[in-house]
Structure formats: C-alpha cells, structure tokens
Structure 1
Amino acid sequence: MMSTDIRKLLAISPKFKSRITGVTTSTYSLVKSLRRKNYDIRMIGLGPTESIPKIHFLKIFQLHKKPDDADYRIFHARRHSDMIFGIILKYFFKTRIKLIFTAAKQRPYSKFSKIIIRYMDHVIVTSHKTTPYVEPIFQKNNKKQMLTVITHGVDTVRFKPSHNKIALKKKLSLDPDINYIGCFGRIRPEKGTDLFINSICKVLPSAPNWGALVVGRTTPKFNKFLNKLQKAVDDNNLESRVIFIDETSDIEDFYKVLDLYIAPSLYEGFGLTPLEAMACSVPVIATDVGYYREIINDDCGYIVEKCEKDMSKHINLYINNTEKLQEHSEKSRLRIQRHFNHEDEVQKILNLYKELQNYKSI
C-alpha cells in the first residue's frame, strides 16, 4: 500500500464538482493509473472520489516544503475553480507546486479565463484544434513552450466488449432480443439529444428488432426538454423500445450491450463517449464537432455535418447491412487500441509531471 505521508505526495488532482461528468471520469481514470505506477497522486475537494485517497484541506499548510523525491509537487487543474484554488495555494500559501491546466475548449476563452490561465506553469491541450485558442494567451509572455498536446485515450480494460451480451442485457433488465442504439451524456440541447430522438423515431417503426438507450443526467433547467423528448417517443408508440436511464457509475455495462452508438452533439471540446463506445467494439455515427473526425474513420463509423437535422439515413446504413455493422464493430476497438490507448496518455502525462517537478529518479 502506498504511503500516506505528505512528504511522499508528488501530485494533487482537485475535484470541486459533485456530479459525474466526462471530465470527472477521465480524471479518476488518470489518477488511478498513475497510482498503479506507484506515483503518489491524491485528490482534494468535495464529494466521494471512488477508491482514490484524498488530502484533508488542513494538509495544505504542509505543502510549502518540497516532497522527498522532487523539487515541486504537481497541481493538475481541469476547471476554473481548480485553477483558482491552485493559484491561491501557490501564491498566497507559498506552496511548492507547479500548476498544470488541461484545456479542451475549441472556441475563444473569456478575458477572465485568459487571466487565470496565464498563471499556469504548463497547459496540456487535448488536440491540435485547441492549440490556436490557448497559444495566443501566452504570446505576450513568450511562453509558447508551455503547451503540450496530449490526446485523450480510453481505458481498454474497463471499456471492452462483453463476452455474453445477452446475459448482460438480462442483468440490466433489458430485452435480450433487441439490438440497442445508444446516446450517452447530459440530456440537453447542446448535446443534440433531440436530434437523436427525432432520428430514432424515424428509424425504429420499421426496425422492430431495434431499440434505443438514452443514458444521462437531466438538470432541473432541462426537465421541459426531457419531457418533450419523452412525448415524441410516446407519440410514436416507442416507449417500450426507447429507454431513458439516469447517469450511472457503471456506464461501461451499457456501452457493452450496444450495437451502435450515436454522438449528436452540437459542440464538444474533445468528446470521450465515441472513444468509450469504440473500445467496446461499437461503431459510431457522430456530428463533426470536437475531435470526432480524428477519432472516427471510414472503417468504424460515419461523420455527419452538425447542420444536418436527421441522422436516420446513416443509422439505416447499419441496420440494413449487418455485415458492415459487424466489420465496423471489429475495427472500432482495434483503432482505439492502436491510436487512443489510455496507457499512452498516462505515460506522456507522467513524463511531463516528472520533468516539471524535477523528479529524482531512484
């Protein structure tokens, strides 16, 4: 078991949001992987952190001393609140930390965002598409070298095909005779959930062996939006085949029962759900946002222009061609293993951490 001694602590990963998001999932995955490599990283913040050890807030008063095995600790931020907390730790409490921010946004940053990002010691951008929005922030300070492109990967041990899809469907109380099309993530207009439901309502009436799973959380602000989607399903007499499920920590099980995944977002910074689906051998149809075009090629899915209001044509290409569906299913996981493996991402981040903190190799 790894030591709880604060002197051994090498990195801190903050968490100030209680709900589960793509950022939360990728953070947990990274921290767990680093700890498996005997790199002492812990979390600080609010709410549960699964099996990952947390630092008590009072421990921050001990962070002004350098750790045993490096000159600095790493503080890895993902959100504004994380960056602000890190800035307070470094400049008000005089802790020996290097501030890292992971940026995925593919649109201009606000003036406030630019101000706090300038305090970072290094920025990881998740794709070359993000670089043009971050690079100018540092040009005045001649800090272009502070950027590193590290593309997200997916844990192919957690996200993998099921050995018995029928048994898993029964475990999840799903019809074992239905082929499922999935759309996962927050239920709101920006995620394109309405585009998915509208397309499904055109496809399913003539495809009796197919159904749909919509998995994700709806905040009170979008309850009317959800009600509208459910009414569309009811109006088409599809309520037994289109199932809405609240967010779950066991999301990988729902990917494993799918035969096709739809990512209909109107905007994404990067977009992890296609990676997770493809790792489970599920081909993907996605809008042309985020990093989707780089993830999905002609061997494992289709890219649709985000201005298109109907994806039913592309869905039918798979429903009416089981050979293509099977071929793309097999190639989807291979593409993830070769180009978007989580272990590659972890090793690149670990190397960056050690370089920034002057890690002392034993």
Structure 2
Amino acid sequence: MRRVEVVAPNFKRRLSGVTSTIVQLVPLQARAMGVATLGPGLPADLPKMRWWQVPALLTKPAERPFRIWHARRNTEMLAGILAKHVFRAPLKLVFTSAAQRDHRAYTKWLIRRMDAVVATSARSGSFLKVPHRVVMHGIDIERFRPPRGTGDDWAASGLPGRYGIGCFGRIRHQKGTDLFVAAMIELLPRYPDWTALVFGRATAENSAFADELRGRVRDAGLGDRVRFMGEVPDVVPWYRRIALCVAPSRNEGFGLTPLEAMASGTPTVASDAGAYAEMIVPGKTGVVVPAGDGTAITRAIEAYMADPATAKRQGEAARAHVTARFALAREADALAEVYEGLWKGEA
C-alpha cells in the first residue's frame, strides 16, 4: 500500500460502462504510477487493494503527500468524502462525470466536495456547475484494430450474405434496439447481401421487450437475417467482421461502441446521444442523426447498404481518426496531468 498513489474504486458488481473504463485504463496507468482498484466485479489480473487494507488509506504513500481517490459514481464520492473528512485520510478526491442531465441536489453536494472534476465530454461538462476539465474516454487501439486476415472478414462469421451490420449493447428501449430492428425489417428485403446482428443480453426487466423484437423479426420472415447473438465470449472480432455499426441510443452516458467500431475500421451510424456527436466526423467516419428518430436512422443506414464501398472508405478514415484522437494513452496522460496538478498544489 505504500506504493499505491491512486485508488480507483468500483462499487458496482455488475458490468457497466464505468467498469469497462476502469478495466481498460488501470493497466495502462499502472505502467506510470502506483494505482490500485477497490471493489467487486473486476478481473483478477488488475492491481487491487483488499478491503482489509482500507485502514492503510489513513497513512501517506511513500513518495506523495497524499493519495488520489478517483471516483466515478455517487457511492464512491461519498466513500471518499467520509475517508477524507471523517477519518482524516490524506486524500484528494477526483470525480469523473459522464452524465448528460442536470444533477440532483445530492449529487451536486457530492461534486462540490471534490478537489478536481473531470467531464468525459463537452456535453456532460455543460451540466456541471463547478470548474472541470474535459477528458474524453479512449480505447485500446491495439485490441480494437482493422482486419488483418481471413479470420477477420465476414466469411469467418459463417452467417449468410456478404456484409454484416451490427448493433451492440444491452437490449432495451434506452439503447434504441427497437429502432435498429425496425430499420432492418424495412431495409433487409431490399438489400439481400446484408445480415443484421444484435449483440448483448436483455436483463429480466427487459425480457418482454426483447421477446417482442424477436417476434417482429419472425413475423417479417427475417429470422435468418436478423440474428440475436446474445453475449458472445469475445465481441472484439465482430467489430472487424461487420461493414457498419449502428449505435441508436435514445440516451447515453458516454458510449464507447462507436470508438470501438471505428478503431476496428468500421464506420458508425449513431444518434446524438452521449458523446457520439463528439466522436464521429459526419460524412467522413460515419453519420450522426437525432436521438429517437427512427426514420433518420433508417435513411442513414440505407446509404451504406446501397454503397458498401463508402463504408469501406469511411472505415479507413475512422481508424485514423480514433488513432489520432482517442487512443487510451491520451486519456491516461490527461488524467495523469490532473493528478500531478493536485500533487503540486495547483488549483
């Protein structure tokens, strides 16, 4: 614990976008500083502190005047406040906000007690009433990469058609899965070379919603061409196999799907939810349409289905765009600057 300079708490067992961020970011941060996670639901190979080591937070690390407690949820902010102000732990508190809505009074109270605040996009920052820095999420551009061989092409999927189009994320109304399915029911009969894939699971409360979507596909006679893939063991190769990604969320926190697709050489049709509009260069790496507008989503998708060469060309540009602006190392470096500013006593 004497070597731990930054603690990244994760107080949610179920996988979420926040958890995914921690899983990807911490190993890279660990190359440059002493960082440890705290909490359930994380891979065993991440650097961790155990619950019985929490009292060690009352002492200073070996080479810093205090530790950084980097929270990403309300519960984690509260824990940091209690540790710092009740138990007098030598901590500075950092909070990353991805929410794109007015915060409730309780959340505002927590945020005002942070020593530094980070927004994951300009849009999420616009809802903060405190000074903050925008640090957009990055992704591992080695893990998410363009196709390199036959195992990465659509033929390797074993599915019908020549081209694939994918929608990734949990199956629920918020994610706009129904908008994607409706677009496919309209378009696939006109474009026989394409097959649509829906990745992700439906939680118990969304099972009726998912069943309804499957029924609509079945009634349209498209059961072989709209595949509900569920949670696959490794979703990464599928970003390379498909020719187009669709991210039709009605609302989103940040949303990594377009970045993962574009880094894999696949353009994205996305709503303007989350930070999608700040990731995609319209007409160059994909298209952005109004959230919830099924007609606009359908028309944008059809342009690519009618001209697969455009998808290929924009996919190449998308890879270059993500490499230049959204590599995970850029996020790690920007956060390191926030931490160093606190350690140096800068406002």
Aligned: 1:80 with 2:80: no
Q: Which amino acid aligns with 1:40?
A: G
> Which of 353, 356, 360 does residue 339 from structure 2 map onto?
353
CA drift at 1:270: 2.1
Partner residue, 2:327: 341
SS at match of 1:161: coil
Look up the match of 2:110.
Answer: 116
Residue in 2 that maps onto 1:317: 303
Mapping of residues 41-190 of structure 1, within 5 Å:
41-135=35-129, 138=130, 144=131, 147-166=132-151, 174-175=158-159, 177-190=161-174
Are the counterparts in 2 of residues 10 and 70 from structure 1 also a CA contact under 8 Å?
yes
SS in 2 for 1:250: coil
Aligned to 2:284: 299
Trace 1:248-287 onto structure 2 (pairs within 5 A). Answer: 248=232, 250-287=234-271
* Percent identity between the two aligned chains: 35
Q: 1:192 aligns with which of 168, 176, 182?
A: 176
Counterpart residue identity of residue 336, structure 1: V
Q: Specify whether residues 182 and 27 from structure 1 end up closer, same or farther in structure 2 by C-alpha distance, changes over 3 A only.
A: same
1:291 Cα deviation after fit: 1.9
Tell me, yes or no, if structure 1 residue 233 matches structure 2 residue 217: yes
Contact residue 14 and residue 76 of structure 1 kept, 8 A: yes
- Are 1:263 and 1:284, in contact at CA under 8 Å, matched by a contact in 2? yes
- Output the CA distance in 1 between the equivalents of 2:87 and 2:343: 18
1:109 partner letter: H
AA partner of residue 316 (structure 1): E
1:71–1:358: 8 Å Cα contact kept in structure 2? no
Q: 1:93 to 1:165 in 2, by over 3 A?
A: farther
The answer to whether the Cα contact below 8 Å between 2:154 and 2:242 also exists between their aligned partners in 1 is no
* Runs of 5+ consecutive residues of structure 2 not aligned to the other structure: none
Aligned residues: 343
Deviations 1:272-315 (A, max 9, x none): 11111100010111112222222112211111122422322221
Deviation at 1:14, TM superposition (A): 1.0
1:13 equivalent in structure 2: 8
Provide the C-alpha distance between the structure 2 equivalents of 1:126 and 1:11, rounded to a whole number of angstroms. Answer: 19
Residue aligned with 2:65, SS: coil
Shift of 1:88: 2.3
**Which position in structure 2 is the counterpart of 1:330?**
316
CA RMSD between the two structures: 1.9
